[in-house]
Structure 1
Amino acid sequence: MRIPLPRSIQGRLALGLCLGLALLWIAASVAALEALRRRMDEVFDSALQETAQRILPLAVMEIIDRGEGGAQRVASAEPHRERVAYVVRDEAGRTVLQSHDADAADFPDHPPLGFSSTHAARYYAETALQGSLTIVMAEPLEGRRHAVAQAARALAMPLLLVLVPLGFVGAWLLVRASMAPVRGLCAEIETRGGGDLRPLGADGLPTEIEPIAAAIDQLMERLRRALDAERNFAARSAHELRTPIAAALAQTQRLLAETHDDATRERALQVEDTMRRLARLAEKLMQLARAEGGRLLTEQPADCVPVLRVIADDLRRSTGLGDRLMLELPDAPVLTRLDPDALSILVRNLVENGARHGAPDEPVRVSLASDGVLRVVSAGPVVPADRLASLTKPFERGPTSARGSGLGLAIADAIARGARARLTLHSPATDRPDGFEARVSLAEPGPAGAAPTRRR
């Protein structure tokens, strides 16, 4: 059966260190117990021998004074269990003296002199009076085994109750502290914006992590070069197209002014319309390259309320929305690090999208809450939920007959991602049965107080 391992490196290292420490403790305990057992055997054997040597002269005197007679059992002052028993035998093997708790049947008939053992007891035999008397000492091995078991429990209890829990916690904390540079590297990568491809750097990283950071830096450098090449191509292509498109549009307008033929004039109007669409597409492509090119955030946050006023005034003039564009701003400042130029492109594309695809006789509402949430709401039919998620892709359009490039929401989404925010689309709009709503947060992270809004 395979034991499941923790998925994290921290868990595996902590578990490995704890198990290794436990195994070392067990091995050391086994070695210590073996050394202790041998030392205990030496001590018990020495005590058994010294006891025999002390009892034997006393037993000889007792037997000589008593003279001939049967076996005599030494009387005990009070009943107790003997840990060491003995018997004294004559030349014929008859028992002439024994301790009060001794059973002659438990003693071997002809034990060898010195030490000997059975499974149940340890024996020591010694002779006196030129071998006419033999004393046999017997000690049950149960006592020795019990002492070894107590020592084993004394060594195991710290392992189970202290070493394993504290060792695991200590190993976990040690590994967690050692993994701090890895977490810092992950946090650095996670906090990067979509266009932030600066090198991570290997300062302060452990030697084992430096190759990973270097490989990530190389990958980001290759990615940066590829993205720069793609963006530069799109931006330069759109920029180079502006001049010939403008020239063709000017020639078309001159042809319209000079021609009097209805058929030619109709074709010239179609060419003019196509040229204008190409000009708008080139402008959107440049905006998309700007949105995906990074550098969308400023070093210091600034109040975006005045910027939105200027953007709204310009939109009213340039798009012909006039009073259809309704702006709601808070009285208190709302700080954001989004570059004003990027903010202008974001709001312009959201407003143009709402005006172009919304109901022509309904207002387009732009509101900024005190918490920095920007909302652009327009009336119109409900967009199916399965189409909302795809509208932020380039050249994706909803179910509409209005003209457009399909890049407006893609540009707004690219700016939001580059600003570490998120563009969300809702249909129907909040508190409406229909309509379309685009929502994005502009505020600098931090507490935001409630502030009333004023309508303009």
Structure 2
Amino acid sequence: MKRRSLIGRLAFLVSLGFAAIWLLSMFVTGLALRSEQTELFDEEIDQIAHLFRPIVTQALNSGFLDAATINAALQSHELSDVHEALVYQILHISEGPIIESRLYRFADVPTGAIAEGFSVTGTHTFYTTDFNDAGYAVRVGDPLEERREAFYSSLIAFLLPMLAMIPLAYVLVHWIAHTALRPLEALHREISNRGEARLDPIDASSQPPELAAITTSLNGFIIRLSKSLETERAFASVAAHELRTPIAVALAQVQRLKVEMSGSGALVAITKVEDALQRMARRVARLLQMARADAGVGMSSEQTDIGRILRYVVNESEKRSDNSGRMTLDIPDAPVVARMDADAFGIIAGNLIDNALQHGAPGQKIEVTLSPDGVLRVVNEGAVVPPEELKQLTKRLHQGPVATDGFGLGLYIIDTISRQVGSSLELYSPAQGRPAGFEARFAAPMR
């Protein structure tokens, strides 16, 4: 599962808190709205009842209206023709109800003695006036369903625009968090750019105090690590340089002695000494290459014809008497120009070929191929390397399960330089399209 970024997490949590506050405020608003609407509707039927009572009293007392006639006329209407928002009833102190609206009998009306004030039934809220001097009272009922519809309509009309505030708040909080955490993002990028090839301190001059303290501590670790690596590289480089000259002199003297003592019984011992010195010379060469690789030899913006370099490396390997005729070379006729240091590519090609010569099946062909797009492939015959072992081959000083004359540095050096130039070393066993063998592939960065 993909982990949420700090900005996304902050925006989500703040928006979640905002949403909780929003829900609480909407709940309180709903309660206040219902209370205010109830008070308003109650005031409405109170005013209607008190306004209606003197009008009815005057009309009935003057004989302008007859209660029985009016009531009969009201009850004669078809239900489909009646659209009453309110129900009402005219009461007489001695006769009881004398006039009722058409829908009054369908309402759940108050029971018990007639008393002034409000009463709520299952269908309506009623208000009943007191009896006036003429003995008349008015009862008006407001449907609860109408009140609910009015409440929900008002609440929805209020909530919908407010609901849009949640995504808007998330966007706003995300932008604020992104802006506020910009120094942290810059520090993240700076740390991500640090690696084996770059260990310079991070500039903390423009950072907030909280991050500046972290960066200062981190710079201390970087400086100590850089000094440690520089000491290690310097030791390997100096040791290799110091050993190379005396080894070369000793080897020359042994080879001269070997010629002078041809046919002597000491020739076998001299040959063993020569082999040991040659092995030591190769180890010194590997140490020098490792020191250069750790120092970042691969990083370069120069354009290099890697095809020409590959031909030279193959020719040098062919000059060894035991390697003559073992390699097949396939290189495009046109120059293959890559954006990397010439020595770095030479180190990669030489180590790939040496690895194939040392670990490949004896006497079998080694295929060296360079494609026009800069992909170098070195394929040799041999037993299949297990996947678990294949993953370990690029580690420093790691040697395969079969005893060879290698040092466990070649593939490590290649992998180090590959990562410096933004590429990678790919290893396959069996070789691509074959039942066995070993294939190493390096894609040079092109111009």
TM-score, shorter chain, exceeding 0.5: yes
In the alignment, which residue of structure 1 is the partner of 2:391?
A: 389
In the alignment, which residue of structure 2 is the partner of 1:94?
A: 96
In the alignment, which residue of structure 1 is the partner of 2:405?
A: 403
In the alignment, which residue of structure 2 is the partner of 1:50?
A: 47
Partner secondary structure for residue 301 of structure 2: strand
Shift of 1:374: 0.6
Shift of 1:181: 7.1
Instruction: Please give the per-residue CA displacement for 1:400-423, whole angstroms capped at 9, x wherever unaligned.
Output: 565333332332222223322222
Q: Is the 8 A contact 1:18 1:167 kept in 2?
A: yes
In the alignment, which residue of structure 2 is the partner of 1:142?
A: 145
Distance 1:319 1:237, change over 3 A: farther
In the alignment, which residue of structure 2 is the partner of 1:273?
A: 275
Q: Is the 8 A contact 2:283 2:407 kept in 1?
A: yes
Q: Is the 8 A contact 2:49 2:138 kept in 1?
A: yes
Distance 1:207 1:24, change over 3 A: farther
Q: Where does 1:228-247 land on structure 2 (aligned, <5 Å)?
A: 228-246=230-248
Instruction: Please give the per-residue CA displacement for 1:3-53, whole angstroms capped at 9, x wherever unaligned.
Output: x99754455344334434433443343343344334433432333233223
Q: Is the 8 A contact 1:193 1:419 kept in 2?
A: no
- Structure 2 CA distance for aligned equivalents of residues 305 and 105 of structure 1: 101
Instruction: Please give the per-residue CA displacement for 1:292-313, whole angstroms capped at 9, x wherever unaligned.
Output: 2224211344432333344444
The amino acid across from 2:272 in the alignment is: Q
Shift of 1:148: 0.9
- Structure 2 CA distance for aligned equivalents of residues 186 and 319 of structure 1: 54
Q: Is the 8 A contact 1:199 1:220 kept in 2?
A: yes
Which 10-residue stretch deviates more, 384-393 or 56-65? 384-393
Q: Where does 1:180-199 land on structure 2 (aligned, <5 Å)?
A: 194-199=196-201
Distance 1:56 1:406, change over 3 A: closer
Shift of 1:239: 2.6
Shift of 1:246: 4.3
Shift of 1:355: 2.9
Which 10-residue stretch deviates more, 323-332 or 99-108? 99-108
Q: 1:27 aligns with which of 24, 27, 33?
A: 24
Tell me the percent identity. Answer: 33
Shift of 1:63: 3.3
| TM-score (normalised: structure 2) | 0.78
Q: Is the 8 A contact 2:423 2:442 kept in 1?
A: yes
Partner secondary structure for residue 382 of structure 1: coil
- Structure 2 CA distance for aligned equivalents of residues 181 and 319 of structure 1: 62
Q: Is the 8 A contact 1:73 1:99 kept in 2?
A: no
Which 10-residue stretch deviates more, 39-48 or 342-351? 39-48
In the alignment, which residue of structure 2 is the partner of 1:451?
A: none
- Structure 2 CA distance for aligned equivalents of residues 230 and 124 of structure 1: 97
Q: Is the 8 A contact 1:291 1:415 kept in 2?
A: yes
Instruction: Please give the per-residue CA displacement for 1:348-374, whole angstroms capped at 9, x wherever unaligned.
Output: 222223234445645543221012111
Q: Is the 8 A contact 2:297 2:344 kept in 1?
A: no
Q: Where does 1:281-360 land on structure 2 (aligned, <5 Å)?
A: 281-317=283-319, 321=323, 324-358=326-360
Shift of 1:112: 4.9
Partner secondary structure for residue 284 of structure 1: helix
Which 10-residue stretch deviates more, 104-113 or 280-289? 104-113
Q: 1:106 aligns with which of 102, 109, 125?
A: 109
In the alignment, which residue of structure 2 is the partner of 1:118?
A: 120
* Contiguous gaps of at least 5 residues in structure 2: none
* Contiguous gaps of at least 5 residues in structure 1: 447-456
How large is the RMSD of aligned CA atoms in angstroms? 4.3
Q: 1:153 aligns with which of 148, 156, 174?
A: 156
The amino acid across from 2:23 in the alignment is: I
The amino acid across from 1:59 in the alignment is: V
Shift of 1:253: 5.6
Q: Is the 8 A contact 2:110 2:119 kept in 1?
A: no
In the alignment, which residue of structure 2 is the partner of 1:61?
A: 58
Distance 1:123 1:399, change over 3 A: closer
The amino acid across from 1:116 in the alignment is: F
Partner secondary structure for residue 62 of structure 2: helix
Shift of 1:265: 5.4
The amino acid across from 1:144 in the alignment is: R
In the alignment, which residue of structure 1 is the partner of 2:445?
A: 443
Shift of 1:199: 4.2
Instruction: Please give the per-residue CA displacement for 1:360-403, whole angstroms capped at 9, x wherever unaligned.
Output: 6455432210121111233x432433443333334444465653
The amino acid across from 2:45 in the alignment is: L
